[in-house]
Structure formats: C-alpha cells, structure tokens
Structure 1
C-alpha cells in the first residue's frame, strides 16, 4: 500500500487537543497547497539553551584531549557517555557583563550580549532563542517554550534589577519572556488547544486519529509513532501521579494539613522531580516538533534552591557556590545530570541516518565561571551536531583570540538553524570552528 503524503504541519486532533506529529522518514513533506515543500523530508534543527546559575566548582570544570579520549573534570563526568557528540568551549564571554552588578548584571545579557540598564530599570535586548523563534514563527505550533524551575526574583542588587538574574530569554529589550514553572501547564501548552478542557487524557482525545494515521505509514514509522505516543503517556501519567501523591504543593507546608485549598496546578515540591519533568517536556517538545526552540532555566543566578535529595539541605545554592566543597561538587553534578539525561533521551530517537541529538544544538552555560563571580570567561558546553553541520568531540579554546564573544557563537548557531544575520548583539563575526 503506498504511503500517503502528509503535511509537515499535520496534527493529530481530538476535542480540545492537537498534537504535532513526530518526524516520519517515510512521509514526504508537503506544503499546505498539496505541493512538495522545499527541503524534502530532512528533519529540522532544534535549539535549546539550558542555564545553571552561580557557576561551577573552580577546580573541576575542565576538559582535555578529544574524541573518544576526551576527558572531563568531575563536574562534567555525567557527560562522558556523550563526549563524542559535544564540544567543550573555553574562553567565550560577554563584554557588557563585566560592567558590575554581580549576579543580576552578569545574567540578564547571557543570550543577548546587550548593555543592561541600571538603577532598577529593566532593559536588555532580544535573546538569540527568541530571535530564532520569531524568524521561524508559523513552522510549529509553539514558536518557543521557555521553562523554569525557580520563580523569578523581584528585588534590586548592586543597583541592578534581579529580574536580570531570573531571566535569560528576552522577547524584546524591555520584556523578559515569561517563564512556565508548572510542568502540567507546560505540557498543556504543547498539546491542548483548550486548556480548560483538562478532564480527559491527551492521548485518549487523539487516539482515533492516531489509529487512522498508523494505517498509512511504513512499519518503521509505525514503530516510531508507537514509541512517541508511549512517551507522551509516560509523562502524562507521571504528572498525574505527582498530583495524587501530594507533591504538587508549591511550598513546604507548615501545618500537618493545609488550612487553605491547594491550587489546582502547582510546582513540584521536590526539585529533582521538577527538573526531570521539565527535561522530559523539552524532549517531547522537540520529538513532536511542537516547537524547535526551548529555553530551560534550571535555577536563578543568586539561587535559593536547596537539595535535600542529595543530602545537601543546610545551605542555599548561592551560598554553597562560595564554598567549593564536596557538596558544591555534588550539586554541580546534579545539574549536569539533567543535561546528560536530555542528551540520552534525544540520542535514543532515530531520525533517518541521525538521531534527534544529532539534529539538535543544546547549549549549556552559566553566567559566571565560579561562585567567585568571575565572568571574563564563561563555562560553555554545546551538545549535538546541528543536523550534521557541527563537528563534535572537540575542545574549542578561544582564550587569547580576538573573537571570543558569546554572540559570535549565537551567530553561528542561528545560521545552522537557517537564520543568517550580519550581526547579533555585540558581534558581527561568526565562530568559524562551529
């Protein structure tokens, strides 16, 4: 039976629900007018930026050699299984982040390279993720997904707004992109057209449409579709289970039983569960092509997170960053484990001759190298091959080189995603090695 052509913008549909199809290699890409779209059925390039505030252990963030021999300091050990699919980048920085303000001033322009307004005013610049989302608007159901695991801070620190410490994604110079802190609402945004109709499983709503589709694709794509639907069900059930277990509280109760009604939705009380759910939602978003741009802020700079699941509950993240002790290293590794988890999940999804990780660019960075606030160079790791356009398994060292701007990296990544610009932020020159 011949494979039926599918529109690249085809969705599985049900009452109040639309779910974007995953990439299917046997189905050609067709435009809305029924004519073959340009670019055949090559899977798209996805971009994600993951942020971890307050830097890392001063002696354990390092890499040496390359390829299979690439070695890491203890902070990066969770990435050893993925060392051939990443680049360790040394020496990049943001000139404008050196002007002062410590945490707030060092974070607000991480993805923009823009000058930050002082005195409590909020002004940065459009970030590279939102520029990409705007240039690709209409290609996916959701232009970009901006996720967070810690609420924003409303305060002034060293004459700069702490809004800068709380946001790395900016929709305009004066508007940080709102964070979605609630896993259930992030999930709904991906798959529900009417969030109010939340009394029915997403998969149950689209099941009839999915069965019809399975009859019209190849055996390999049928298996791919089955795996995708199973992964959606898994996350859906885990979110529901978290609520049933009473973990969606959003606070640590001071009473044996709450004396106010619990909110219908909430932030998972345990940070390990919260981060893992957000990582799964990122993977689902990319796997379904519901969005190709995602920003995940694992914590704020000047973070107040605690980590009782690691046995580290005596000091908040920010204060711990000034210690460089064994517990700080343990927390660092926990954050890198989230990146490694995303890489493992993406690399397990085959898209033609490459994996979903191969077809992605996952940027992992902080606003400072260590808790000592030094940001004359930034910790940066880039996972994925950008659809086969990026050679991986390397250490790229820009220390002492004339072009070591973070915005030069963004110009290179934007080009890999199909957006060619003469300039971005404070840079007019790409990194030729990327």
Structure 2
C-alpha cells in the first residue's frame, strides 16, 4: 500500500510492478522444463510466421508458429563450470554459481522473483509443479537436488515441488482465507502504527486522513460488489471446472503430465496464480515411457542416442507444451486469448543429451505477453556479444513491470525481445 508524501520521512525505494486492476487481463508467466536436452539433429526452426519450418522435435507446435519466438545460442556461463547435469540445471533460471561438495547454494530464479514482486496479489503467488520426485543424492561432487529443481526461492532454498495433482488442486482451490478478501487497511495496520510513532504531528494528521479515505473507498467497493456494479477484468472461471484429481501420483506418466498441464491452465484461468513452473522431468531423469511403447530404457540413457525412440519421447514432451497453448488459446479474454496474455518459456538444461552440450541451450517462448512480445520469429544470438540467459530474463521481467538493474550474471537486456 503506497503512502502519500510526508515531510518527516525520507523517500527511497525501487520501481514496483503495477498490479492489474483495470479492464485488461493480467499477464501470466509459465516455465515448462524438459531435462537431458533433445535430439541433436531435430531441434531447429527456420523462417518466420506461418512459413516457419520446424525440426522434428517441434512438429507438435506447427499450429503455433506465429505465436512462437525461437531463440538460438543462449547460454549460462556458470553451467559450463563444475560437472554435467546438476551444474547445468540448478542455475538454469538464475545464472547463479553453484556450490559443490554436496553443499546447496544457487540463486533466486526468475519465477520466484516475479512471484515475490508481481504474483503476490493472487491466492498462490507461485505454483511449482513436477512429474518426477526430487533426487537427494550426489553426482560427481554436486548435489542432485540441482538436477531436480529449477525454481529457487533463495540461494539456499529450492522451492518445494508439488508432485501430486490432488494436492496442487487443493492449494489452488481449497477453501480458506484469500488475500483479496482481507481489507488492505487490516493488512497494514501494524506497519501503519509503527510508522505513526516516527513521524511529525502534521504527518500523523495526513496519515490518518489518508487511511480514512482508503477505508471509505473499500466500503464503497464492497457496496458496489453487493449491487453487482463492479467493472473491469474478471476471470472466465470463478470455480474449477474439473473434479479434484485422485490422491497419489498417477502411474501413467502421460496422465500425470496432462493433469499438471490442466492445473497450470486452470490456475491461470481462475486467476488463482499468475506464475507457474512445470518440471516435466528431472535432468538425469529415470522416467520410462510405457505409454509410448518405449519401456526398455530410462530417459537419461535414451538421451545418449539420437534414435527414433528418443525423437518420439522429445515430441511427447513438446506435445505437453502444445496442449497448454491450445487450452489457453481457447480462453477468450476480451480481444485477446489467455495465450496472448501469457509468456510460456520452454527450455532444457542442455542442447543434446548425447554430448551434454550446454554451450547453447534450447529455448523458445510461446504467447504474446499481452501484446508486448513480437512472435513468429527466429532469433540467433550465437555470434552476438551478449547471449546470456539472464539477459533474456531481464527483458522478460520488464514486461511485468519488474525492472532490475542486474539479474544473475547480466546487467543488460537481450536485444530484440
């Protein structure tokens, strides 16, 4: 809650995001992660718009070429240090240096920075979903927790994963207090009392008048809501339109991923959350794919060969992204769709599992960011002086009104984003 100017207080602070309170739908951000990279010869895109050509991995996205931004050549410098897998994943969304020797230290990830500065107006500031359990072991002197977590609330705190669809559903929709149900004044009265003791008599009068005016606005809004007079953007759903999933984790990985995709979309559609990460699998993953008729080898070992089965698994992962895009695009929000009002980052920890190549990463964006992102393009940064992932993150956070001077290892925005 912003304060009026006061003669007895210093003025300082940083630029804050503008929470959406008008007729425009809010902007949402999602990250879908697939570990172990992709088929070495089939991750590519060429051309622009509806004429864009896609490699075999990306064929499920054919209908969304004009809503896609394909980025080549980006990398995390810190991911080239240390070992493979863990050191290439634990800082994927932060660009932070990682501690070795089994110690846990990374950096706050872009999704959590946005959750803290942009997502706090929703019931769930950040929804962190996963389809494979966290691995607590150590691999080549680095904790495998790095391979299991892309979302970090702080340098020493990987954000807890929600593996079970039913519990994720409960977090979004279980009855309980909601931030927006609480009076703004009730939420800040303690802080206001502390402030009142440290300001001049004139400023105390100004503060009291200001708080009284806010209370009056709240009262008028409450009465307007009772009369049905409120205008502006409203979620297309007030309550979930799917049943609560069964307890436990589905045994079929296809069903598990699809449920998590449904929850991501439902969270956005009901405005229960605006920030979500969905980790489809771990890096160094042990998932098997009986649903695809590929049950003879775990994901990690499959990634070591550019085979037809590996391509089939890659396409299955990209199909989850296409499914999310299709569902969001079916939700109309004024002149745009929910996909137009979203940014979905799809990425992996390495380009190919066969070579563990992290000198350039597979990265694409889907959605229009509320008209702020020009899509239908392929951008190549391989020969550019700045090709840092953290530069991309600075550019993306700008679109949420979260403006930072530095993030991770970057102090400059990525060109043309």
Q: Tell me which of 365, 371, 390 is aligned to 1:382.
A: 365
**2 CA distance for matches of 1:217 and 1:146?**
35
Q: CA deviation at 1:432?
A: 2.7
Give the corresponding residue for 1:236. 243
Match in the other structure for 2:395: 412
TM superposition shift of 1:328: 0.3
Q: Please, which of 347, 350, 364 is the counterpart of residue 365 of structure 1?
A: 347
1:235-254 → structure 2 map (5 Å cutoff): 235-236=242-243, 239=245, 243=246
TM-score, normalised via structure 2 length: 0.81
- Tell me the residue number matched to 2:334: 352
**Secondary structure of the residue that 1:87 maps to in structure 2?**
strand
Larger radius of gyration: 2
* Structure 1, unpaired ranges of 5+: 1-36, 196-212, 244-264
Partner Cα distance (1:99, 1:420) in 2: 29
CA distance in structure 1 between the aligned counterparts of 2:161 and 2:352, rounded to whole angstroms: 25
Corresponding residue for 1:249?
A: none
* Alignment check: 8 A CA contact 2:329 2:340 kept: yes
Counting only pairs closer than 5 Å after superposition, residues 100-115 of structure 1 correspond to structure 2 as 100-115=82-97
Superposition deviation, residue 100 in structure 1:
2.4
The answer to whether structure 1 residue 398 and structure 2 residue 381 are counterparts is yes
Instruction: Indicate the larger mover: 344-353 or 309-318.
Output: 344-353
Give 1:154 deviation, angstroms: 1.1
In 2, the alpha carbon distance for the partners of 1:190 and 1:275 equals 17
Q: Secondary structure at the match of 2:370?
A: coil
- For 1:215 and 1:103, how far apart are their aligned partners in 2? 57
Q: Which residue of 2 aligns with 1:7?
A: none
Q: Report the number of matched residues.
A: 350
Among candidates 155, 163, 167, match of residue 137 of structure 2: 155
Q: Deviation digits for residues 376-421 of structure 1, max 9, x if unmatched?
A: 0000010011110000000011001011000000001111011011
**Post-superposition shift, 1:229?**
6.2
* CA–CA distance in structure 2, aligned partners of residues 215 and 266 of structure 1: 43
1:42 Cα deviation after fit: 1.1
Unmatched segments (≥5 aa) in structure 2: 1-18, 178-224
Local SS of the residue matching 2:70: strand
Alpha-carbon displacement from aligned partner over 1:127-160 (angstroms, at most 9, x marks no partner)? 0000010112531111100000000011111110
Match of residue 310 from structure 2: 328
Query: Would you say 1:182 and 2:189 are equivalent positions?
Result: no
TM-score under structure 1 normalisation?
0.78
Q: CA RMSD in A?
A: 2.1
In the alignment, is the contact (CA less than 8 A) between 2:119 and 2:275 conserved in 1? no
Please state how far the C-alpha of 1:217 moved relative to its aligned partner. 8.4
In the alignment, does 2:36 pair up with 1:54?
yes
